[in-house]
Amino acid sequence: MRVRAKHIVLGVIIFAAVSLGTYPLLKHPRVFSICKDIDLNSGDVREQINACFLRIKDEVQTTPFSREVRRLGIAVPEERR
């Protein structure tokens, strides 16, 4: 085998070993996770997306139930209005 071909094969082997070695870390909830929470008082759904210990998205979404709660005038916490 030529020297260049050996380097390519060695690079592929190292890449495969590192990829397989870090696979369990990717299942850690702080590496990448999507959480959806339902607020039982207002019916809103909060979606949080975390990647590499950083929050990428934090969004509160309305649902048909939460719209009905607001239409009926049921008391909802201020941060959910």
User: What gap in Å lies between CA 42 and CA 75, rounded to an integer?
Assistant: 8
Q: 51-68, pLDDT tens digit by residue?
A: 877 888 999 998 998 888
Helix or strand holding residue 80 (H, E): none
Confidence of residue 45 (pLDDT cuts 50, 70, 90): very high
Per-chain mean pLDDT for the chain = 82
